[in-house]
Chains A and B, each alone.
Chain A
């Protein structure tokens, strides 16, 4: 299956992908974090990035989002070089490992700020709508610094999709979420699938990933070691879960 991913390097359909990582190598402090990673994510597809700690999942996700620049290789969004086009940036949403929220602003203010930055037409309405959907309406005017980790996680995911991006990138989105939060997020995944959104998320939980993703991409030591459709469970992931 790794070869299948490699085929995208020269595939004539590569430009039809939402995001392509073409031979990505990332070196941090002289240690290779990603080595020649090749991955294409097609429109409407949900891909789970899995693997043990230090495998390079989060780095790959940040590279896909344009938040980290690879030392070698290219990232392409919608067929264009990543990071260049403001229009392409509007089509991508990232909820990273850290919340990216301002603790001194309220939940509502954080969402309104993000919505304004993305050029959402009615930022106030959109922010309120998202807070209601995330079950955070009673906490609208609460400072983010006063929220629990789980509530911040929900808010961070809401912030990442405030502009209804076509490509949604989430780093361990289920971490810190309680049962209610997990239900909400699973429902969101289903909504995104129905709406044809492309989702790429990092997870350690094989069950979550199997239920939500079309493909499980397993990394180890900076390399993609297995790409499996969710019909079967990769042996490697079972060991690492």
Chain B
């Protein structure tokens, strides 16, 4: 009974945030624009043979997703703070871990939207067949998004209350997310090389461990972040 209530609350929290974003377009247009500019700049600057491009494009893709995605993460709590909704959220009889998970899911959706736009843009601009093996790529993207969204959601909540929060999220996020970007980039490189390499699964396992650890840590720590 309690689990069903929690799932319902989670859904209403997610629905509320997605409705707000679709109506007001607070974060997505800026995020997509920055992502496209980064992809355009990076793709046009790597004047390399296709084989070498294939090796480097994974890292560039994940760096673009990281920088552009930070914009969406930054807005996820700033809006709540600005209108006093944070206080209201804090007082609802809902476990704080649910609030964290709801925001995290919304951020995962934002990152997925970003990837839906950036990956085809990279393919067009670099000729690298990023979706030649869609299954492993989807797995890497899903795990990368969970890692990035879990750390980002927690840090976004932490920095939203700061008076001078501009750029603070990116500064705090960068060192924590570097292992995730590295693992996702390496896994992407191996997938693009077309190898069935046990090394791929090592990187994927690493991403999975990060995803689980960061999500659990975020859900547990969120209660303290929410406090005034």
What is the interface of chain A, defined by CB distance below 8 A to chain B? 62, 65-69, 86-87, 89-90, 92, 94, 96-105, 109, 113-114, 116-119, 143, 159
- Rounded to whole angstroms, the CA-CA distance of A197 and B155 in the bound complex is 39
Further 19 A-B residue pairs, CB within 8 A, beyond A94-B88, A94-B91: A67-B87, A67-B90, A68-B228, A86-B95, A87-B93, A90-B93, A96-B84, A96-B87, A99-B84, A100-B85, A100-B87, A101-B83, A105-B20, A105-B23, A117-B12, A118-B92, A119-B5, A119-B93, A159-B88
A28 to B, closest residue via Cβ? B228
B22 to chain A, nearest CB (A): 9
B225 to chain A, nearest CB (A): 13
B133 within 8 A of A: no
The answer to whether B93 and A69 have CB atoms under 8 Å apart is no
Interface residue from A97, A105, A116 paired with B8 (Cβ < 8 Å)? A116
Q: By the criterion of a CB under 8 Å from any partner CB, how many residues of chain B are at the interface? A: 23
- Rounded to whole angstroms, the CA-CA distance of A159 and B16 in the bound complex is 15
The answer to whether B228 and A69 have CB atoms under 8 Å apart is yes
Chain A binding surface, main DSSP class? loop
The answer to whether B91 and A65 have CB atoms under 8 Å apart is yes
- Rounded to whole angstroms, the CA-CA distance of A101 and B84 in the bound complex is 7
The answer to whether B83 and A117 have CB atoms under 8 Å apart is no
The answer to whether A117 and B92 have CB atoms under 8 Å apart is yes
Which parts of B52-111 form the interface with A (CB within 8 Å)?
83-85, 87-88, 90-95
**Which residues from B are CB-within-8-Å of A92?**
91
- Rounded to whole angstroms, the CA-CA distance of A119 and B5 in the bound complex is 8
**Which residues from A are CB-within-8-Å of B93?**
86-87, 89-90, 117-119
Question: A102, A109, A119: which has the most chain B beta carbons within 10 Å?
Answer: A102
B13 to A, closest residue via Cβ? A117
B7 to chain A, nearest CB (A): 12
B51 within 8 A of A: no
The answer to whether A116 and B9 have CB atoms under 8 Å apart is yes
Known interface pairs A113-B12, A117-B9, A117-B93; A99-B83 also in contact (CB < 8 Å) = yes
**Nearest 5 A/B pairs, CB to CB:** A98-B84, A100-B88, A89-B93, A117-B92, A86-B93
B24 within 8 A of A: yes
Total number of residue pairs linking A and B with CB closer than 8 Å: 73
What is the interface of chain B, defined by CB distance below 8 A to chain A? 5, 8-9, 12, 16, 19-20, 23-24, 26, 83-85, 87-88, 90-95, 227-228
The answer to whether A102 and B85 have CB atoms under 8 Å apart is yes
A103 to chain B, nearest CB (A): 6
- Rounded to whole angstroms, the CA-CA distance of A113 and B85 in the bound complex is 12
The answer to whether A104 and B87 have CB atoms under 8 Å apart is no
- Rounded to whole angstroms, the CA-CA distance of A97 and B228 in the bound complex is 15
B56 to chain A, nearest CB (A): 40
B95 to A, closest residue via Cβ? A86
The answer to whether A89 and B83 have CB atoms under 8 Å apart is no
A70 to chain B, nearest CB (A): 11
The answer to whether B83 and A98 have CB atoms under 8 Å apart is yes
Known interface pairs A67-B228, A117-B9; A103-B91 also in contact (CB < 8 Å) = no
- 10 CB contacts below 8 A, A to B, read A62-B228, A89-B91, A94-B91, A98-B87, A102-B20, A103-B24, A104-B26, A117-B92, A118-B92, A143-B23
The answer to whether A104 and B94 have CB atoms under 8 Å apart is no
- Rounded to whole angstroms, the CA-CA distance of A198 and B20 in the bound complex is 34
- Rounded to whole angstroms, the CA-CA distance of A65 and B8 in the bound complex is 25
The answer to whether B85 and A104 have CB atoms under 8 Å apart is no
**Which residues from B are CB-within-8-Å of A68?**
228
A86 to B, closest residue via Cβ? B93
- Rounded to whole angstroms, the CA-CA distance of A94 and B92 in the bound complex is 10
- Rounded to whole angstroms, the CA-CA distance of A62 and B83 in the bound complex is 16
The answer to whether B23 and A94 have CB atoms under 8 Å apart is no
**Which residues from A are CB-within-8-Å of B228?**
62, 67-69
- Rounded to whole angstroms, the CA-CA distance of A62 and B92 in the bound complex is 14
**Which residues from B are CB-within-8-Å of A102?**
16, 20, 83, 85
- Rounded to whole angstroms, the CA-CA distance of A96 and B84 in the bound complex is 8
Interface residue from B9, B23, B84, B227 paired with A97 (Cβ < 8 Å)? B84
**Which residues from B are CB-within-8-Å of A62?**
87, 228
